[in-house]
Amino acid sequence: MIETWRWYGPDLDQITLDEVAQTGATGIVNALHEIPYGEVWSQQAIAARRKLIEQAGFTWSVVESLPIHERIKRGDGDLAHLFANYRQSMANLADEGVSVICYNFMPVLDWTRTDLAAPLARGSGSCLRFEAYKMAAFEVHMLGRADAASDYLPAVLDQARSWFEASTESDRDALLHAIMSGLPGAFDRYDIAGLRHQLSLYDGIDRAQIRANFKRFLDEVIPTAEDLGLRLCVHPDDPPRDILGLPRVVSNVEDIAWILAAVDSRANGLTLCSGSLGANPANDVPAIARQFADRIHFAHLRNVRKDADGSFEEAAHLEGDTDMAAVIAALLDEENRRKEIERQDHQIPFRPDHGHEIAGDIGKGTFPGYPLVGRLRGLAELRGVIEGLMHMQKQGQAHG
């Protein structure tokens, strides 16, 4: 497996490439976050970023993300120029040697959390957390979304009301900020009125329509990906459930199977995010990894700890509800299968996802979920699991 590290670029990330080099990762996962959604990524801009990354001793392994404009997700109006721009960006990336593009199809928001610095059980560190009652308080009492109450348990709604009645303006501002923080590379940040407007643009758009719009996107771009030798891989919804009344369509086994069958091509693949999928109690992440192994082009490895009310938080990489060793074993088995059939792309790039803010990370102001030391701890733990499993495989082969 190829060790990679998500880096937000020289103008956004406080972590330097020299510091990333000290983690041992060999690949950088990057995007041109400074370019507004829907515009072409020029070959010149891509080449400049590639040169910067390669001069620091890395390969630019994966683009995360080449974002999809909201109008495409809504199926809004004449989209020809947006599809053309997306295809041109794909071509420019391919010309500069990038071969894997991670993207998502989540309406309006990317990953969603209510707390960016929830305290850890031990020590003074913190983690990202999704608190069901705070999300209910936001939707019901701050946003005033119609029918929001029907999405939550009565006990959660009671907690939401109590929290809201006791909250200060600063508390409510912090909650809005946390919910908006899942868009680290986006220019748009919404206040309550702005978010209401964005949600109103999805009025009347149901799950079937979102799927139809997704299918149209795949039909428009996958043939180009095939021609260019690119592999696109959709990122699961985070959390894997409807949010703010918006249909989400990449949340479970049935969703993934539908997407991969919608355009049956190796170029139409999956980013296996063990944390996103793991936040749904119905998702068996190791089983998902095995079922869709041949279409997994990229992996985010992290863990979550879930509560019965729908809340969850980021756990240490080997300490959450998901059997991380089983997930990695599935990926290694797939790599071996690809190697046996002599696929050049048999290695799967992965990165340690959302880490705890610990030790020297505290107070550094890095992107929520993307500290240096916390992710380094995660990478070291994952590296140990990978090496141990590979050793066991070799021992088995030697005695086979």
Q: Which residues are catalytic?
A: 235, 273, 300, 353-354, 370
> Can you tell me which residue has the tokens 């010309």?
95
80-95 and 43-55 helices, crossing angle to 10°: 40
User: Distance between CA 41 and CA 90 in Å, rounded?
Assistant: 8
Count of beta carbons in the 10 Å neighbourhood of residue 79: 19
User: Distance between CA 40 and CA 36 in Å, rounded?
Assistant: 9
C-alpha angle 373-377-378 in degrees, rounded to nearest 5: 120
What are residue 5's DSSP bridge partners? 28
Determine the 3-state secondary structure of 298 from DSSP. strand
User: Distance between CA 378 and CA 5 in Å, rounded?
Assistant: 11
User: Distance between CA 256 and CA 235 in Å, rounded?
Assistant: 10
Instruction: Please report which residue ranges of the chain form alpha helices under DSSP H.
Output: 17-21, 43-55, 70-74, 80-95, 132-136, 154-166, 169-180, 192-200, 207-228, 253-262, 274-278, 285-291, 324-340, 372-398
207-228 and 253-262 helices, crossing angle to 10°: 50
